[in-house]
Amino acid sequence: MIKLVKNNFELIFWVAALTSLAFTNPTQTHFVLCPLRLMGFTWCPGCGLGHSIAFLLHGDVKALLHAHWIGIPALLILMHRIVVLFRRAIKAQQPVDENAAFSPTANRRLPI
């Protein structure tokens, strides 16, 4: 179980991040995780990105563009990355044939 979480850390993180953005209300102020904000900086190149994706997931395009235009490509890129990682995770679950040479389907982790 720990191994499973460790191997798929990135996948779990992105999925958790996007689902939590889908369930937050972007119009309210809330607890801030951003390390730059906590250090006292008022601006960073990604500011408004979280709002932007949350607006996109709620379907509010006008507010999205007001928050940060990069929200649309960001969501697409993250979705693509999640699909790639998810495919990998499924492949790693398949049983490994020790005697098989490298085959196109054998691009997977060994269960050590």
Partner 1 sequence: MDFYQNAYMNLPGVSAEELGFLKQATNGLDENQLKSFFVVYSTKRKNPNDILLLAVIGFFGFAGIHRFVMGQVGMGILFFFTGGLCCIGTIVDVINYKTLTFEYNQKMAYEAFNIVKIGGQFY
Question: What letter would DSSP give residue 95?
Answer: P
Q: Confirm or reject binding of residue 73 to partner 1 (CB under 8 A).
A: yes
Residue 83 DSSP SS3? helix
Q: Confirm or reject binding of residue 57 to partner 1 (CB under 8 A).
A: no
Which of 58, 63, 65, 88 is in the footprint of partner 1 by CB under 8 A?
A: 88
Q: Confirm or reject binding of residue 42 to partner 1 (CB under 8 A).
A: no
Residue 12 DSSP SS3? helix
Q: Please list, in sequence order, all residues whose beta carbon lies within 8 angstroms of the beta carbon of residue 26, skipping any fewer than 6 positions away.
A: 50, 51, 54, 55, 58, 63, 67
Which of 21, 26, 50, 55 is in the footprint of partner 1 by CB under 8 A?
A: 50
What is the C-alpha to C-alpha distance for residues 85 and 78, in angstroms, rounded to an integer?
A: 10
Q: Which is nearer to partner 1, 28 or 38 (CB)?
A: 38
Q: Which is nearer to partner 1, 63 or 92 (CB)?
A: 92
Q: The tokens of 22 are what?
A: 């889908």
Q: Which is nearer to partner 1, 7 or 24 (CB)?
A: 7
Burial class (CB in 10 A: 0-12, 13-18, 19+), 30: exposed
Contact residues: partner 1, CB under 8 A: 6-7, 9-10, 13, 33-36, 44-47, 49-50, 70, 73-74, 77-78, 80-81, 88, 96, 98-102, 104, 106-110, 112
